[in-house]
Structure 1
Amino acid sequence: MKRSYTVFWKRNLAFAKLAIVSNLEYRLNYFVDAVVQPTLTTGIEILLWFAVFRGAQTTEIAGFTREYYLSYALWGAFFARICTSWMYESRMIQEIDSGSINSLLTRPMSYYEYYFSQLMGYKFITTIVSMIIPLMAIGIFELPTKFARLPMAFALEFYYLILVHSISFVIASCAFYLNKVYSFTAAKNLALWLLTGELFPLDLMPEPFKSFVIALPFSAGVYVPVGYLTGRLEIASIYQSFISVTIGIVVVNLLGAWMWKKGLNVYTGTGA
């Protein structure tokens, strides 16, 4: 039993290292993905909230000042980059479409863990590099941030990544049955743009939509960790998010396991 656990962790650590090495191999692409894109996104978010407050001609919105919204925008753009998985989701879909999944199915591993470990490895190294941007901006503009809360916010964010990958696994499994599955990825990304709180803080929604959307596990992607980090929320919201994400992981993985098993039964691979 102990040997099997050791083999499991060594195997998945190797997958994570593979993701890090393969992405760092193309340094310009990695620099654009980890630094340029987050910088541009952050700049747009800051300009947006400056414009909102200037147009509203007020010092507070929903009880929070402009500085709180700028801090939310900075950390929101940062956490939103962490909780996306479209790149590996597209790879999974492509492999099923092309038939190149055949070579992976014969290996002593699961398809789910193969890409999950790569996703975690890539997100780990990207998070370290991208974090420079919000830290510099927070220091320059002196925006409110409770740095002692960072560990709990990161714990929730990376736990939420399990749900994100599970959803990607379900979407990729649809390629066994349907063509043009990439459109599901686009639709999912647009929905999460709103449901995570990346577009705007979810507590600005009117009731009863606000309570419903915040209760969903997707709010753990941006709104809850960023709200907790900026002082908008307290620890009870973090605990509630852990519970909702856990429920989401169980439900989505049960669906994914069922779709994967049925998909393999009808799958005919003709690729590599």
Structure 2
Amino acid sequence: MSFAAFWKRNLAFAKLAILSNLEYRLNYFVDAILQPTLTTGIEVLLWFAVFKGAGATEIAGFGREYYLAYAMWGAFFARICTSWMYEYRMIQEIDSGSINSLLVRPMSFYEYYFSQLMGYKFITTLVSMLIPFFAIFIFDLPTKFERLPLAFALEFYYLILVHSISFVIAACAFYLNKVYAVTGAKNLALWLMTGELFPLDLMPEPVKSIMIALPFSAGVYVPVGYLTGRLEIGTVWQSFASVTVGIVVVNLIGAWLWRKGVNVYTGTGA
């Protein structure tokens, strides 16, 4: 199989995701505009309340404007690095038996949903990024826009790891019932470990260093911290390395689970 055929096939999957999301305009409006706006508003009110309750101008060496900027970009990046919708679809394919139609096609289950995920993230990111841009300019919050390309590069690289984790969870559907519950538990864990709930540098040592060293910090804390001036480029490169290790380890586990699961699945005639 040539690279051109591989690229053309996966580009078609990405276009499929874009068209299917644009087809339902109200759902797209809620997903790309309304929900991010509400989330951003809640985050802003939360940090206003934190500083008012603390009666301080700074927390851990940063003023309120830095935390507001973190909240704006954090809510935005957190939406990019979630894949629960496609994770549910992958689990459902295996649970329902409709995976049969995919196994006989000249593509992998992993790439089929990964390309759709990337297409979906591309079309929603283009629109929803207007919200933090608008808020940053209105409130004059600290943001180093020249750092945005590298922050985006890390975020979408991290999205490969996110999809790989979803693939592992979906592969567990070959062996377990009610795998959907694992998705919920994983999402709650990542809510904390990515730094979406609050900046990871507010944690005590040695928990702080461990959390930042893990690849999950690349979801929110590292790109947002780099973008808002909390972190320097060295932490970004370390995060790229951490995510790379995570991708290798998780995909090895996923490949093993998938191979064994498909063999059991086809062997029992499911």
TM superposition score normalised by structure 2: 0.98
The corresponding residue for 2:189 is: 191
> 3-state DSSP class of the match of 2:2?
helix
Select the residue among 255, 258, 268 that pairs with 2:256.
258
Verify: 1:96 aligned to 2:67, yes or no: no
The corresponding residue for 1:130 is: 128
The corresponding residue for 2:78 is: 80
Between the two proteins, the alignment pairs up a number of residues equal to 269
List aligned pairs for 1:168-207, cutoff 5 A.
168-207=166-205
Cα distance in structure 1, aligned partners of 2:123 and 2:53: 39
Q: How much identity, in percent, do the aligned residues show?
A: 83
> 3-state DSSP class of the match of 2:56?
coil
Cα distance in structure 2, aligned partners of 1:237 and 1:35: 31
Code of the aligned partner of 2:141 = L
Cα distance in structure 2, aligned partners of 1:138 and 1:237: 24
Structure 2 gaps, min length 5: none
Deviating above 4 A after TM superposition, structure 1's stretches of 4 or more consecutive aligned residues are: 268-271
Verify: 1:32 aligned to 2:33, yes or no: no
Deviation at 1:265, TM superposition (A): 1.1
Verify: 1:230 aligned to 2:232, yes or no: no
Verify: 1:159 aligned to 2:196, yes or no: no
TM superposition score normalised by structure 1: 0.98
The corresponding residue for 1:47 is: 45
List aligned pairs for 1:4-15, cutoff 5 A.
4-15=2-13
Cα distance in structure 2, aligned partners of 1:228 and 1:192: 19
Cα distance in structure 1, aligned partners of 2:211 and 2:232: 18
Verify: 1:246 aligned to 2:244, yes or no: yes
Deviation at 1:230, TM superposition (A): 0.1
Cα distance in structure 2, aligned partners of 1:148 and 1:170: 36
> 3-state DSSP class of the match of 2:44?
helix
Cα distance in structure 2, aligned partners of 1:203 and 1:270: 51
Code of the aligned partner of 1:202 = L
Cα distance in structure 1, aligned partners of 2:85 and 2:235: 30
Select the residue among 209, 215, 226 that pairs with 2:207.
209
Deviation at 1:270, TM superposition (A): 7.2
Code of the aligned partner of 1:227 = G
Select the residue among 15, 18, 21 that pairs with 1:20.
18
Say whether the 8 Å CA contact 1:68–1:143 is kept in structure 2.
Answer: yes
Code of the aligned partner of 2:238 = Q
Verify: 1:141 aligned to 2:139, yes or no: yes
Say whether the 8 Å CA contact 1:85–1:165 is kept in structure 2.
Answer: yes
> 3-state DSSP class of the match of 2:106?
coil
Cα distance in structure 1, aligned partners of 2:224 and 2:235: 11
Cα distance in structure 2, aligned partners of 1:4 and 1:25: 32
What are the Cα deviations for residues 122-167 of structure 1, in whole angstroms up to 9, with x where unaligned? 0011100000100000010000000000000000000000000000
RMSD of Structure 2 on Structure 1 (CA)? 1.0
Say whether the 8 Å CA contact 1:34–1:129 is kept in structure 2.
Answer: yes
The corresponding residue for 1:63 is: 61
